[in-house]
Amino acid sequence: MRSLFKLAAIAALSLFALPQGAAAQGYEPGRVVQAVEYSDLQAIVLSLGHTIEQQAPSGPRSIRAVTPGGLTYFMIGTACDQNRVRGCQGLIMQVRFEVAETATLDSLSRANNNFSPLNVWAMPERGMMGMTRYVVLNGGVTMANLRENMNVLLGLTGPALDVVTGAQ
């Protein structure tokens, strides 16, 4: 009887421990990070209500996700496990497209000038173009700031693409 009581107590305690462990992996806006792991990228994507399409498409600390509107984007950790810091101290946020036939050096330059928070680029030899934001985490950045950086990228992608393709 005593061991049955112990088993029940252990089971009950483990139920309380599980949600706390899961919450530690969730999005915490005020948490300051100096480096990110895959779980941090996952937390940001899920906090935005987006879907994870692929884990680690560009290395172990990367993610490919899609917005409810169907826009696919990447988050890629850089400068990982350096200078005795575990995790990635840099974060590339990127949207990629097939290169538009109407894209020119002039339209890329206009998009970069008009949308300075983005790096608008094209690699015609690879049939690819895109928009990128890069965030340096040294010294610390809140999870809310990382989330807002992603929102900036996603919010400016359409208008920047219109400039590159000549639609605007």
Cα distances (angstroms) measured from residue 153 to each of 5, 74, 156, 159: 55, 11, 5, 11
* pLDDT of the residue at 106: 94
CA–CA separation, 59 vs 45, rounded Å?
17
Query: Which residues of the chain form beta strands (DSSP E)?
Result: 32-33, 51-55, 62-66, 72-82, 85-98, 119-123, 128-136, 141-142
CATH of domain 30-165: 3.30.1460.10
Tokens of 140: 């610390």
* pLDDT of the residue at 25: 56
pTM above 0.85, yes or no: no
Per-residue pLDDT of the chain (168 residues; tens, 9 = 90+): 444 333 333 333 333 333 333 333 589 999 999 999 999 999 999 999 999 999 988 888 999 999 999 999 999 999 999 989 999 999 999 999 999 888 999 999 999 999 999 999 999 899 999 999 999 999 999 999 999 999 999 999 999 999 999 887
Query: For residue 48, which of 160, 149, 159 has the smallest C-alpha distance?
Result: 149
Confirm if 97 and 164 have CB atoms less than 8 A apart: no
DSSP 168: -
* pLDDT of the residue at 102: 87
